[in-house]
């Protein structure tokens, strides 16, 4: 599903995405992860690895590494901000809903505010895979 | 086909851009279209030929017994003859209309499969588009044949020494592109044909990337099969050509079965018509054939080699401008005479997707990704690249706009 994003909002969301690309949050090694996951897109060679520390059913810490385009890295950065301190159950549900949302299936679900810059991807469906790669890695880690 | 063409009485290369409505449209004013290796814009003459075919040329061909059907049949078969002349085929019966080059390769792979057996070999090159790789992978898997790869040199040329060592007594087919859709490399097809024929192997040439830029002459190339798509030569999409030597086509099974391909049908078997009709089951793409004919006539209206020289000069300019940019790594042969119309490259530190998206902000259309050549990109050591590809209407201004867009991309992303 392609959605129209007004120009001014487009520019502001784009600026936020670029900020997350240039200075991504939680792009680091996690010394003692309890869970690891990976997402690969062989068509463009992008890869994201997600590391989690899960304790008592909660995501206590989250980090990512990998290579990708600006959208891929920004999405990974935003994802780590979003799932930190979430319960594993909620994080799994978020992964599923987010995936549905990028595919245009979740029409009534609204993005958590922290993920708003990712709205842009719905105006550029060709970059859907760029935005979902980190989420695939997260889902893999939560499996 | 080199006499003045009444469809294109005053065609000149320097005025060709005016024939393409996209560039004069309000929607795409100022667009710099440099994605011609993916698909090309359509000139007014092609659009008119398609419109005319749909408006006053629609009838069931080869069967209708009334004037409208006879006219439609005449138009369709004339298009076939025009395409035959366009590539110097011996006769129109060697021209099979199909949906695209991809479709044509699939038809050879399916129709020709019977002669491939266990232990036989098919050779492809490291630079093939997936459309000229996947059908052979499957065929080799199914027939327990062996797929071999002719390697490329470090500067992106076909390695003839590798071709000599790959092609041998067991080789049944060599499948290669005339021009690489990533490197722009113009492959030495006659040399490869000589090696293959020496061993009794047939040669299939994917001319999708050369057909719009070079005089493609099947006699000069010496190959056995050749194919191309309409939409990459300023014609419509959904139409392409499979050319094959007549004896080979007559020995080939049709991949698609249906109406119009038989001389008689019994309860358990049928007799195929001669080529090309046995390969054109169902109602054909009349408007596509008309549009493709108009495109071939446009390309034939120029003096032989004029397009190649024009594209060659512009390719040289493109390569030169890119080479002067800091941080650009260019792939492919350094000699402009060994490549045509395509430049794939990396811009240091910026993902190809981001380069293409930033260029898009300035209406400069380039492609990013592996361009359906994953194996080639593995060989190049990068999963993807940015590709700028020229067309008949491309100008130095387009190239300059690309260079500015790359500066802009760097500013945005770093």
The CATH number given to whatever domain includes residue B172 is 3.40.640.10
Which domain range does residue B336 map to? 13-41+304-413
Distance from CA of A44 to the nearest CA of B (A): 5
CATH number of the domain within which B406 lies: 3.90.1150.10
Report which of residues B412 and B146 the model is more confident about: B146
One CATH from 3.40.718.10, 3.30.1490.20, 3.90.1010.10, 3.40.190.10 for A7-142: 3.90.1010.10
Average pLDDT over residues B188-203: 98
Task: Sort out which chain B residues have CB atoms less than 8 A from A71's CB and list them.
Answer: 353
From chain A, pick out residues whose CB is under 8 angstroms from the CB of B383: 42, 44-46
Domain range annotation of chain A: 7-142
pLDDT of residue B149: 98
Predicted confidence (pLDDT) at residue B220 exceeds the cutoff of 70: yes
Cβ B216 vs Cβ B178: under 8 Å: yes
Any A CB within 8 A of B115 CB: no
pLDDT at B3 (0 to 100) = 54
Average pLDDT, chain B: 95
pLDDT at A1 over 60: no
B145/B133 same-domain check: yes
> What distance in Å separates residue B386's CA from the closest CA in chain A?
11
A68 with B374: Cβ contact below 8 A: no
Cβ-Cβ contacts under 8 Å, A21 against chain B: 413
What confidence tens digit (pLDDT) does each residue in B136-163 have?
999 999 999 999 999 999 999 999 999 9
| pLDDT-wise least confident of A62-71, B2-11, B197-206, B223-232 | B2-11
Residues B157 and B23 in one domain: no
- pLDDT computed for residue B304 by the predictor: 80
pLDDT of B1 over the 50 cut: no
Banded pLDDT at B197 (limits 50, 70, 90): very high
Query: How many angstroms separate the CA of residue B413 from the nearest CA in chain A?
Result: 8
pLDDT tens-digit readout, A18-64:
999 999 999 999 999 999 999 998 888 899 999 999 999 999 999 99
Ramachandran region, residue B191 (left: φ > 0; alpha: ψ -120 to 50; beta: rest): alpha
- pLDDT score at B374: 94
Q: Which of B268, B300, B332 is the last residue of a domain?
A: B300
pLDDT of residue A2: 47
pLDDT in tens, B114-144: 789 999 999 999 999 999 999 999 999 999 9
pLDDT in tens, B361-400: 999 999 999 999 999 999 999 999 999 999 999 999 999 9
**A-contacting residues in B 314-373 (Cβ below 8 Å):** 351-354, 357, 368-370
Q: Per the CB < 8 Å rule, is A68 touching B351?
A: yes
Best of A11, A19, A45, A124 to disrupt the B interface (most B CBs within 10 Å) is: A45
Q: Which residue of B has its CA nearest to A68?
A: B351
Instruction: Evaluate whether residue B86 is within a structural domain.
Output: yes
B323 plus B290 within the same structural domain: no
Number of domains in chain B: 2
- Quick one: pLDDT at residue B2? 47
CB pairs < 8 Å spanning A and B:
39
């Amino acid at each position: 599903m392609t959605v129209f994003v007004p120009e001014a909002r487009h520019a502001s969301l784009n600026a936020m995405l670029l900020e997350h690309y240039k200075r991504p949050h939680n792009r680091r090694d996690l010394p003692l992860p309890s869970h690891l996951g990976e997402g690969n897109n062989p068509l463009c060679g992008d890869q994201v690895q997600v590391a989690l520390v899960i304790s008592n059913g909660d995501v206590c810490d989250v980090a990512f590494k990998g290579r990708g385009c600006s959208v891929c890295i920004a999405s990974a950065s935003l994802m780590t901000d979003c799932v930190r301190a979430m319960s594993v159950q909620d994080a799994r549900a978020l992964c599923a809903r987010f995936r549905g949302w990028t595919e245009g299936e979740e029409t009534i679900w609204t993005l958590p505010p922290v993920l708003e810059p990712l709205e842009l991807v719905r105006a550029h469906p060709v970059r859907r895979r760029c935005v979902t790669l980190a989420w695939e890695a997260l889902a893999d880690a939560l499996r | 086909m080199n006499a003045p063409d009444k469809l294109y009485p005053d065609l000149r290369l320097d005025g060709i851009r005016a024939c393409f409505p996209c560039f004069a449209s309000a929607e795409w004013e100022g667009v710099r279209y440099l994605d011609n290796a993916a698909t090309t814009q359509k000139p007014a003459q092609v659009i008119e030929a398609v419109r005319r075919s749909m408006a006053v040329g629609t009838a069931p061909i080869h069967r209708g017994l009334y004037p409208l059907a006879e006219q439609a049949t005449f138009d369709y078969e004339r298009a076939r003859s025009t395409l035959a002349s366009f590539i110097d085929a011996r006769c129109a019966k060697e021209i099979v209309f199909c949906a695209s080059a991809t479709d044509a390769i699939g038809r050879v792979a399916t129709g020709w499969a019977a002669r491939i057996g266990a232990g036989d070999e098919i050779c492809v090159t490291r630079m093939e588009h997936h459309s000229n790789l996947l059908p052979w992978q499957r065929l080799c898997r199914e027939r327990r044949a062996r797929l071999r790869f002719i390697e490329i040199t470090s500067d992106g040329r076909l390695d003839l020494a590798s071709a000599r060592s790959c092609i041998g007594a067991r080789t049944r087919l060599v499948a290669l592109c005339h021009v690489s859709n990533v490197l722009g490399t113009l492959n030495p097809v006659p040399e490869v044909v000589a090696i293959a024929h020496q061993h009794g192997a047939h040669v299939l040439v994917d001319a999708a990337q050369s057909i719009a830029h070079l005089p493609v002459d099947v006699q000069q190339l010496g190959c056995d099969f050749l194919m191309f798509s309409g939409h990459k030569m300023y014609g419509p999409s959904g139409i392409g050509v499979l050319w094959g030597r007549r004896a080979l086509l007559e020995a080939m099974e049709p991949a698609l079965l249906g109406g119009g391909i038989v001389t008689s049908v019994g309860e358990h078997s049928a007799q195929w018509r001669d080529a090309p009709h046995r390969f054109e089951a169902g109602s054909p793409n009349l408007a596509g054939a008309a549009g493709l004919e108009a495109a071939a006539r446009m390309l034939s209206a120029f003096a032989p080699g004029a397009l190649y020289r024009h594209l060659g000069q512009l390719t040289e300019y493109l390569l030169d401008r890119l080479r002067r940019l800091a941080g650009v790594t260019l792939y492919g042969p350094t000699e402009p005479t060994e490549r045509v119309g395509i430049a794939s490259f990396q811009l240091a530190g910026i993902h190809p997707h981001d380069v293409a998206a930033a260029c898009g902000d300035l209406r400069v259309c380039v492609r990013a990704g592996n361009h359906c050549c994953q194996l080639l990109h593995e060989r190049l050591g990068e999963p993807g690249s940015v590709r700028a590809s020229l067309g008949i209407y491309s100008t130095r201004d387009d190239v300059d706009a690309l260079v500015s867009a790359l500066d802009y991309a760097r500013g945005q992303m770093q």
